[in-house]
Amino acid sequence: MRISAIWGLIALVIWKTEAMPPRIEGGRKQEQPRDEGTSYDSLELGSYDPNLDNYDLSNYEERAIKNDYGEPTPKVRLTEMGLVVKSRGVRATGRALKMDLLYPLYFGPLSDLGLPTCLVCVCLGTSVYCDDADLERIPPLPQETTYFYARFNHISRIQSEDFKGLRKLKRIDLTSNSISTIEDDALQLLPALQELIIPENKLIFLPKLPGSLVRLDAQFNNLRGSGILPESFKKLEFLYLSDNEMDYIPVPLPSSLRSLHLQNNHIQKIQEGTFCDAEDHKYVRRVLEDIRLDGNPINLSLTPNAYFCLPRLPIGSYI
Ligand SMILES: *[C@@H]1O[C@H](CO)[C@@H](O)[C@H](O)[C@H]1NC(C)=O
């Protein structure tokens, strides 16, 4: 992490803390102390509390316009030097903070909390980090977003509009949410999407996915098999579906596949042609070196001719 970026974040946090004092009208809510450090501790964000649920933000914008929350307004200026925050004698400068870093911080779309997404989340270049922020839905993302992380939140649904038009989005990481539904066109039209990382959710079906996908990680869900259509994947290399309710191996497996993890499912049998082409004994799947079928009620000895094209036998029970 560059020093200038750290300065920028510290400056932002000072501004943010000043701009949104945790004053709760009517004393309805109490500010909760954070019980555990987030992964941003290394950025030295100190007492920054991303848990915006604790703030009454219902008329934040209105109050911000009227400036009637009784605190001195911090003066934030954009200068050639970067970001300058001046408030109550505190002065912090983010020297040489790049404009591409500042852009989403100040002009990003409003999130469902009524704040620019990059105040709720941390935007670093084209990466947006929204981990452990009590989100219940995907926040509106800057057009330039390339890597999006929203791990450890309470998101239950992905809607068509959530990622719409994000033509540069390469990676979505939604590890450990409560996602049970992904609308069918929510991800299919993302032309650059390479990695969908969505383990520890409640998915029963996968939605239609773009053919650009290289890695699909949906371990620890409730997937049953139907809805997984790997024939559309020409580039898929890593397919991680362990700890689901799968009762068959999704076929046809793309020839680009390198890893297939299906351990701890309900697979009882495999077809002779699942991995290899029974008609074409010259066909070799050179790259598929990592197949895991352990933890399934399947006896791999019953299909002795299913593996001849593989560089290695699948891991699983042969007795
Ligand atoms: C698995 O299949 C092999 C070969 O047919 C057989 O010898 C073995 O007893 C089977 N194991 C179980 C647990 O059914």
pLDDT band of residue 271 (cuts 50, 70, 90) is: confident
pLDDT band of residue 307 (cuts 50, 70, 90) is: very high
41/266 Cα distance (integer angstroms): 41
Ligand 1 atom nearest to CA at 318? 1
Residue 180 has phi, psi (to 5 degrees) of -115, -20
Give me the pLDDT at residue 156, please.
Answer: 97
Residues 261 and 219 sit within 8 Å (Cβ to Cβ): yes
Q: Give the distance, in angstroms, between the CA of residue 203 and the centroid of all CA atoms in the same chain.
A: 15
240/199 Cα distance (integer angstroms): 9
Instruction: Look at ligand 1, atom 12, and give the residue with the nearest C-alpha.
Output: 319
Q: Rounded to the nearest 5 degrees, what angle is found at the Cα of 35, between the Cα atoms of 32 and 41?
A: 110
Domains and CATH numbers, the chain: 61-105 (no CATH), 156-319 (3.80.10.10)
Tens of pLDDT, residues 2-26: 444 444 444 444 444 444 433 333 3
Q: What is the percent of the chain where pLDDT is above 70?
A: 61
Residue type at position 89: G
Of 59, 76, 104, residue with least CA distance to 11: 76
Give me the pLDDT at residue 134, please.
Answer: 93
Joined tokens for residue 266:
């309900």
What predicted TM-score, i.e. pTM, was given to this entire model? 0.67
Joined tokens for residue 291:
């197949």
Between 202 and 21, name the one with better pLDDT. 202
Q: Which residues line ligand 1 (CB under 6 A)?
A: 299, 301-302, 319
Q: Residue 148 CB: number of other CB atoms within 10 A?
A: 23
21/52 Cα distance (integer angstroms): 11
Per-residue buried b or exposed e for 186-215, using 16+ beta carbons within 10 Å of the residue's own CB: bbbebeebbbbbbbbbebebbbebbebbbb
246/267 Cα distance (integer angstroms): 6
Give me the pLDDT at residue 284, please.
Answer: 92
Report CA(261)–ligand 1 centroid distance (Å).
23
Return the residue matching tokens 């057009």.
Answer: 143
The residues with which 128 forms a beta bridge, in sequence order, are 123, 148
Q: What is the percent of the chain where pLDDT is above 90?
A: 51
Give me the pLDDT at residue 116, please.
Answer: 78
Instruction: Look at ligand 1, atom 5, and give the residue with the nearest C-alpha.
Output: 302
181/185 Cα distance (integer angstroms): 12
Report CA(298)–ligand 1 centroid distance (Å).
10
Tens of pLDDT, residues 69-103: 333 333 333 333 333 333 333 333 333 333 344 44
Residue 208 has phi, psi (to 5 degrees) of -65, 135
Residue of 269, 299, 300 with the most ligand 1 atoms within 8 Å of its CB, for mutation: 299
52/4 Cα distance (integer angstroms): 26
Residue 18 has phi, psi (to 5 degrees) of -70, -40
Joined tokens for residue 237:
């290399």
Report CA(195)–ligand 1 centroid distance (Å).
38
Whether 155 shows a pLDDT value over 90: the answer reads yes
Give me the pLDDT at residue 53, please.
Answer: 39
Between 9 and 307, name the one with better pLDDT. 307
Q: Is the C-alpha dihedral spanning 64, 67, 72, 76 positive or negative?
A: positive
Tens of pLDDT, residues 52-76: 333 333 333 333 333 333 333 333 3
Residues 138 and 145 sit within 8 Å (Cβ to Cβ): no
**DSSP 8-class letter at 7:** H
Joined tokens for residue 303:
């299909």
198/111 Cα distance (integer angstroms): 22
Residue of 269, 270, 294, 301 with the most ligand 1 atoms within 8 Å of its CB, for mutation: 301
174/198 Cα distance (integer angstroms): 5
Instruction: Look at ligand 1, atom 11, and give the residue with the nearest C-alpha.
Output: 319
Rg of the chain, C-alpha, whole Å: 24
